[in-house]
Each structure stands twice: as structure tokens, then as C-alpha cells.
């Protein structure tokens, strides 16, 4: 199960991501927001991080205008590794190396076509499980 949320700056891109998830029959929970009316991105980051930490969702997607604010907010939560990606190389590497559990996107940065490929890469790439990467992830958590 994928948790997805956005602020007003990410709303339009989220609609394109939801279309991809529907087409691919990938199950998701949409935590809002539901329009381009201004909202506060930390609230939506918190909804998705909570869904991951309570085990109801395995990965998350967060979208704001740049992807920066919403990833900063998500990364304040212990156990969350949110990766802001603008290309497929980083989406693949952050799953393989960082075992990132949230993908952050900038709705005003990447177009729908690229964003869908980034999401597809993120969702279909496994953590390598390499000892060196696990050690570094453990060091992040302290
Ligand atoms: C909202 O205007 C914008 O600040 C927000 O979407 C995001 O880009 C913040 O980092």
C-alpha cells in the first residue's frame, strides 16, 4: 500500500501520479490535499509519515511545489528516509542504497511524464541489502 499526499503546489502533479497508480492497479491511500487552495505542507508530510510508521503503508509519495519543504518535514520524523528526486537515476539509487521509504517530488519542477517514470522506478526498485548500506542507514538512525 502506497501513501500519497501533496500541498497545493503539488496537487496537479499528484493527479497525474494517481492516474498512473490507477492504471497500474497499485493500491494507495490518498491523504490530500484535494485542490489548489493553499495549505501547509508539514501537515500532509505528517499524514504520510504516520501511515508508514504505523505499518498501514509500506512507501510514500509526497509532492509540494519544489519537493523541498515537504521532504524536510518528512525527514524530521525518526525512521523516515524521504528522497527528493528529479531523475530516475536518483530514484533507483535511493532505493538501492538508502532504502528510502518516501519519494518527494516537486510539482513545479518535474513534468508529469518524467514524474511518472521516477515513481515507477522508485516503486519497483528494491533495497540492495548490502551490509555497507545497512550500516550507513543504521548510523542515520543513531
Ligand atoms: C508553496 O507555495 C510552496 O512553498 C510549497 O509547495 C513548497 O514548494 C515548499 O517547499
What is the Å distance from ligand 1's center to 67 Cα?
7
- Determine whether the shortest distance from the Cβ of 118 to ligand 1 is under 6 A: no
pLDDT band at 142 (very low <50, low <70, confident <90, very high): confident
Cα 129 to Cα 9: distance, rounded to the nearest angstrom: 35
Q: Determine if ligand 1 sits within 6 Å of the CB of residue 69.
A: yes
Report pLDDT digits (tens) over 102-119: 999 999 999 999 999 999
| Nearest CA residue ID for atom 10, ligand 1 | 69
How far apart CA 140 and CA 4 sit, in angstroms, is: 24
Domain 2-141, CATH number (from 3.40.1400.10, 3.60.70.12, 3.60.40.10, 3.90.226.10): 3.40.1400.10
Say yes or no to pLDDT of 2 above 90: yes
Rounded CA gap, 72 and 112, in Å? 22
Mean pLDDT of the chain, nearest integer: 98
- Tens of pLDDT along 13-65? 999 999 999 999 999 999 999 999 999 999 999 999 999 999 999 999 999 99
Query: What pLDDT sits at residue 40?
Result: 98
Please give the positions annotated as active site: 64, 97
Provide the grid cell at 65.
511545489
Mean pLDDT of 55-82: 98
d(CA 112, CA 77): 28
Q: Ligand 1 center to residue 70 CA distance, Å?
A: 8
Amino acid at each position: 500500500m502506497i501513501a500519497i499526499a501533496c500541498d497545493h503546489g503539488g496537487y496537479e502533479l499528484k493527479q497525474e501520479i494517481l492516474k498512473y497508480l490507477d492504471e497500474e492497479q497499485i493500491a494507495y491511500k490518498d491523504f490530500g490535499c484535494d485542490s489548489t487552495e493553499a495549505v501547509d505542507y508539514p501537515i500532509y508530510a505528517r499524514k504520510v509519515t504516520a501511515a508508514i510508521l504505523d505499518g498501514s503503508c509500506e512507501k510514500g509519495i509526497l509532492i509540494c511545489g519544489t519537493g523541498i519543504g515537504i521532504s524536510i518535514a518528512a525527514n524530521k520524523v525518526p525512521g523516515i528516509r524521504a528522497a527528493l528526486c528529479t531523475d530516475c537515476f536518483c530514484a533507483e539509487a535511493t532505493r538501492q542504497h538508502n532504502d528510502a521509504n518516501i519519494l518527494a517530488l516537486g510539482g513545479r519542477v518535474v513534468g508529469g511524464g518524467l514524474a511518472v517514470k521516477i515513481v515507477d522506478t522508485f516503486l519497483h526498485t528494491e533495497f540492495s541489502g548490502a551490509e555497507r548500506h545497512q550500516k550507513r542507514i543504521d548510523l542515520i538512525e543513531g
